[in-house]
Amino acid sequence: MAIIIVGAGIAGLSLAVGLQRAGVPVTVVEEREHLDGGAGITLWPNALAALDDLGLGAQVRRTGRQVSAGTVATPRGRRIRELDEADLAAALGEPVIAIHRQTLMDLLVAHLRPGTIRWSAPVAGVHVAGGRTLVELADGTELAASAVVGADGIRSAIARTLNPGLAMAHSGFTAWRGVAAVELDGGGQVWGNGAEFGWVPLAQGQTYWFAARRAPEGQDLGPAAELARLHHDFGHWDGPAADLIAATAPDGLARHDLPDRPLAKRWHAGSVVLIGDAAHPMRPNLGQGGCQGVEDAAVLSRLLVGAADPTAACAEFTRLRRRRVVGVARQSWFLGTMIGLRPHAAASALFRASSWLPQRLLLGQIATVASADAYQKARR
């Protein structure tokens, strides 16, 4: 019987690659008809080390682009922080990689045997009947599995099955992401009045950018008008925001009202287990949501391969991963809250205070989350 992974996102596909590579039968069940792009993603050395364990690290490093260190500044150009590329790489074990999301997802799919992913198959839930674990598709079909992995993202049906009443609310922030055909040397971020704008060069002369600011839910004007509004809000900021927004095609803009959902209380029940955003959604501010999903995939893959009892593997996964992820989610929340703090004078005071933090301490702090070493210590 196969292991069934619900959701073909970064976490689910990474796990599928790890399991299939070790000869474990696996099926991925995905509600979408196909992969549909996205903008860019930064993969920190903790995720690169996990990708090494999955046999994918070298290819991802080759395909992506090393991120040269960035600045953090205010909209008027006052430097809050400047991180040196060599110092950052030394603290983390190696440079950070930025890659187009579509490229990353294509690379993951290319490592799976044809037919591994069952597309257009929304899952309604999972239950145990007659000693068998059954995944229920929305069309009524039931699929028996030796273990079920809920990798179905922040709106996870599997997480809600394990945690009835799991609440979700608007965080108060909306995020936009795009990729522009603009070549830049380095990345950077600007933190402003309850808002931020960041950019990271990708391979092939492209730059990934993201913006976030306080906004009520459900105010989507459509891509062209959203780009015009972004240009109005961020175009006068220090840095390349104006050029990047102007060089982004409307059909390349992704806009999301960012939800807040707590970590799931129960990550596993029997041989059903949650990974990625389904288990531990987090604010995007540390750029760690996807990285932690890749760490989950590498750890769960190792535990499930050759496990006589998937239930014990799922319990051990929860024990190992919870203690690692809780702190990372908390730090993401803290950074997002600091940037969005009101009144803005309070945020400015915090930015100023953070600019006095000695670089050595800051790098040490980043390394506890994003270094290869942090992953390696936590996987044991």
Ligand X SMILES: Cc1cc2nc3c(=O)[nH]c(=O)nc-3n(C[C@H](O)[C@H](O)[C@H](O)COP(=O)(O)OP(=O)(O)OC[C@H]3O[C@@H](n4cnc5c(N)ncnc54)[C@H](O)[C@@H]3O)c2cc1C
Q: What are phi and psi of 29, to 5 degrees?
A: -110, 120
Dmax over Cα atoms in the chain, in whole Å?
Answer: 65
* Long-range contact pairs involving 83-89 (C-beta distance under 8 Å, separation at least 24): 83/359, 83/362, 83/363, 84/359, 85/186, 87/359, 87/363, 88/363, 88/366
Task: List CB contacts of 167: < 8 A, sequence separation 6 or more.
Answer: 261, 262
| Nearest distance, CB of residue 279 and ligand X, angstroms | 8
Q: Does 315 bind ligand X (CB under 6 A)?
A: no
The verdict on 108 binding ligand X (CB under 6 A) reads no
Exactly one of 3, 4, 5, 10 binds ligand X (CB under 6 A); which one?
10
122 binds ligand X (CB under 6 A): yes
By CB under 6 A, name the one of 53, 152, 196, 295 that touches ligand X.
Answer: 152
Phi, psi values for residue 373, rounded to 5°: -60, -40
Residue 31 contacts ligand X per CB under 6 A: yes
Q: CB nearer to ligand X: give 96 or 347.
A: 96
- Give the one residue of 18, 192, 223, 284 binding ligand X; rule: CB under 6 A: 284
Of 5, 17, 24, 41, the one binding ligand X by CB under 6 A: 41
- Give every CB contact of residue 279 below 8 A, 6+ residues apart in sequence: 150, 159, 263, 264, 267, 296, 321, 325
**Judged by CB under 6 A, does residue 18 bind ligand X?**
no
To which residue do tokens 């997802």 refer?
105
Indicate which single residue of 111, 177, 261, 324 sits in contact with ligand X (rule: CB under 6 A).
177
What Cα–Cα distance (Å) separates residue 140 from each residue in 3, 29, 69, 72, 158?
19, 14, 51, 51, 16
Phi and psi based region of residue 140 (left: phi greater than 0; alpha: psi -120 to 50; beta: remaining): left
CB 268 within 8 A of CB 147: no
Candidates 27-35, 88-96, 237-245, 329-337 — which segment interacts with ligand X by CB under 6 A?
A: 27-35
- Site for ligand X (CB under 6 A): which residue of 29, 67, 83, 195? 29
Interface segment toward ligand X; rule CB under 6 A; list 26-34, 60-68, 107-115, 232-240: 26-34
Contacts of ligand X in 287-306 (CB under 6 A) = 287-291, 293
* Per-residue binding letters, 208-247, with ligand X (x by CB under 6 A): --x-------------------------------------
List interacting residues with ligand X (CB under 6 A). Answer: 6-12, 29-32, 41-42, 122-123, 151-153, 155, 157, 175, 177, 210, 256, 258, 276-277, 284, 287-291, 293
